[in-house]
Structure 1
C-alpha cells in the first residue's frame, strides 16, 4: 500500500492540511500574518461570495438533475432505435468532444441576437427568444442549455448501462403483463441505479467546480477576450454568471488573498462532501426499496 499512501499524503493530505493552515493567515505569497478566524468571519459578510454561492447552488439543483434525466432519455431513445443508431450516437456525443472554451464561444455566438442565427430563425416563425447571456434572468438557463448540448459524457455512460440490462428480465416481465412504465420502474431503474448514482455524484462535483463555461460566456457576451492583464470582474451580467470557483480564483490569483481563498476552497470541499453523502444515502435507500 506504500505507493498509494505516498500519493495520498503528497497530493491530498498535505495540500488539505496546508489549506487549513493558511486559512488562519493573511497571505499574499510574500507575507504571512496570523489573523485567527478573520477570514472565516469575512466570508459570512461577503456579498460577492454569497451571490456566487446562490448561483452555484441553483446550477446544482437545476442543472445536475436535468443532465441526468436528459442523458437517460437520449440513452433510452438510442436503445430503441434499430436503424441509424450509430450515427445518432456520434451526433449526440460530438459536442462533448469540443474543448469547453471553443464550445462556449460557438454556443454564445449562435444564440446571440446580433450575430447568431437561432434567434433570427425563431423570430421568423413568431417566437421571441431572450438575450440569453446579456439578460441576468436568462443567463443561468443559458448555461444550462449549453451543458445539455454537451451531454455526450452522461449519455454514453447511461447507454452502456442500459445495454447491459439482461433482456431476459424484460421478457419475463412482458409475459407477466408488465407495461412499459412498470418494466422501466421495476427493472431498468434498479439495475442501472449504481450508474445513475455515479452520474449524479460526479455531476454535483463538476457543477460545484463550474468555472470555464461561465467565465468564457461572460467575457464573450461582453465582447472581451480573457487575456493576460484583464481586470474585468467576473459574473456578467449583474453577477448572474458568477460561480463559487470564480470567486475563489479571483481572490487567490487576482487579488492575492490566498488566506481567504483557502477558506473558500475548504467551503467548496465541505459542500461537495455534503452533497455526495446525501446522494449516496438516497441511492442506497432506493436500492433497498427495490
Structure 2
C-alpha cells in the first residue's frame, strides 16, 4: 500500500508542476495589465477621491478642507445650469438615438442586398461622432452660412445661427448624438437575428398585424438588448465632452446653453485651477451615473423579458 501511495503522490506532483508553471506564465503576462489598472485607473480614482476633500490649485500643496467642496455645490449656479443642460441632453438624445437605431436595424434585418455595406456605413458615425473633426464639421453645417441654412434658403426659408442661438444650440448637439446610432444599431441587429421565426409565424396564424407583432413579439424578446443599449448610451451621453467643447469654442455658450457637466468640470480644473473642486465634481458625476444605472437595473424587472 505504501508503494501505491508513493506512486500516486509522484503522479500528482508531475501533474501539478506543469499547472503551476502555466499559472506563473499567465500571471507574468497579466502583470502589465494589473500594473496599468493600478497606475492608470485605480490610482487616479483614489487620488481624485482624496483631492475632493482638499483645496488644491495644482501649484501649491493640497490643503484639507473637509466637505467644503461638496457643500459648495449647493450654491454653484453654473453647476446647476450644467446639470440641467446635461440631463436635457441625455433624456432627449438617448431615446431618439435608440429609436433610430432600432428602426434601421429592423429595416436591415429584412435582408437587403449589400447588407454588409449598409451595416458598415451606418456604423461609421459611431466611430467618428465624438471626434474633433466631426464637431468642427457640425459647427460649419449649423453655422449662420452653413449647409442647413443654404438648404432652407432653397425653399425660401430664412435660417438662423443655430449654434449662436441659445434656444437651438443644444439641439444641434442632440442631433449629433442621435446621428451616432451605429453602435446600438449593430447590437439591435444582432438581437433581431436571435429571435426565433416561429414566434412570428404563430402570431401570423392568430391574425396579428405587423404592428401587433412589433409590440407583442419583437419588443418583449428584444427588451434585454434595449436595456443593454440604454444603460451604455446613458453612461456615454453623460461623459460627452468633445462635441460641446468644439462647437461652443470651449465656453459652453451661448449663455451656457451647451455647458455640459464634463465641460464645466474641465473649466474648474484646468481653467480656474480649482482641482480640488473639480475632483469633487467628478465624484458627483460618478454618483449620478451609478444612481441612474441602479434605477435602470431596478426598473428592468418590470419591463425586461428574459426568455428562460
Task: For residues 226-256 of structure 1, give each alpha carbon's deviation from its aligned partner in whole angstroms, at most 9, with x where no partner exists.
Answer: xxxxxxx621211011111111111112222
Matched with 1:143 is: 173
Does structure 2 retain, via aligned residues, the 8 Å contact 1:130–1:138?
A: no
For the Cα contact (< 8 Å) 1:20–1:266, is it kept in 2?
Answer: yes
Normalised by the length of structure 2, the TM-score is: 0.81
Relative to structure 1, the CA distance from residue 39 to residue 135 in structure 2 (aligned partners, 3 Å threshold; closer, same or farther) is: same
Structure 1 runs not aligned, ≥5 long: 220-232
* Aligned residue in 2 for 1:103: 134
Name the residue aligned to 1:272: 289
Query: Alpha carbons of 1:240 and 1:76: their partners in 2 closer, same or farther (altered >3 Å)?
Result: same
Q: Secondary structure at the match of 1:137?
A: coil
- Structure 2 distance, partners of 1:87, 1:13, is 40
Measured at CA, do residues 183 and 101 of structure 1 come closer, stay the same or move farther in structure 2, by a change above 3 Å? same
Under a length normalisation based on structure 1, what TM-score does the superposition of the two structures give? 0.86
Question: In structure 1, what is the equivalent of residue 235 of structure 2?
Answer: 205
Structure 1 residues 193, 129: closer, same or farther in 2, change over 3 A?
farther
Q: How does 1:33-44 map to 2 (within 5 A)?
A: 33-44=63-74
- Do the aligned residues in 2 keep the contact of 1:205 with 1:272 (CA within 8 Å)? yes
Which residue in the other structure is 1:252 paired with? Answer: 269
For the residue of structure 2 that corresponds to 1:267, the secondary structure is helix
Distance in 1, Cα, partners of 2:140 & 2:280: 36
Structure 2 residue aligned with 1:28 = 57
Q: CA deviation at 1:127?
A: 3.5
Do the aligned partners of residues 251 and 120 (structure 1) sit closer, same or farther apart at CA in structure 2, a change above 3 Å counting? same
Kindly report which structure 2 residues correspond to 1:51-66, keeping only aligned pairs within 5 A, or say none: 51-66=81-96
Structure 1 residue runs of 4 or more that deviate by more than 6 Å after TM superposition: 1-5
Alignment of 1:1-290 (within 5 A): 14-29=43-58, 30-80=60-110, 82-98=112-128, 100-114=131-145, 116-219=146-249, 234-287=251-304
Q: Which has the larger radius of gyration?
A: 2
Conserved? CA contact 2:142–2:172, under 8 Å: no
Deviation at 1:19, TM superposition (A): 2.4
| Cα distance between partner residues in 2 of 1:252 and 1:269 | 16
Q: What are the Cα deviations for residues 91-143 of structure 1, in whole angstroms up to 9, with x where unaligned? A: 322323336211111122123232x2331122221344442211100011110
Stretch moving more, 159-168 or 207-216: 159-168
For residues 21 and 244 of structure 1, what CA distance do their matches in structure 2 show?
Answer: 21
Q: Distance in 2 between matches of 1:37 and 1:18?
A: 16
The answer to whether the Cα contact below 8 Å between 1:113 and 1:120 also exists between their aligned partners in 2 is no
State whether residues 95 and 103 of structure 1, in contact with CA within 8 Å, keep that contact through their aligned partners in structure 2: no
Quick one: distance in 1 between partners of 2:117 and 2:45? 45
Deviates more, 1:46-55 or 1:102-111: 102-111
| Contact 1:93–1:152 under 8 Å retained in 2 | yes
Distance of 2:194 and 2:306 partners within structure 1: 22
Q: Report the aligned-residue RMSD.
A: 2.5
Query: How far apart, CA to CA, are the structure 2 residues paired with 1:129 and 1:71?
Result: 29
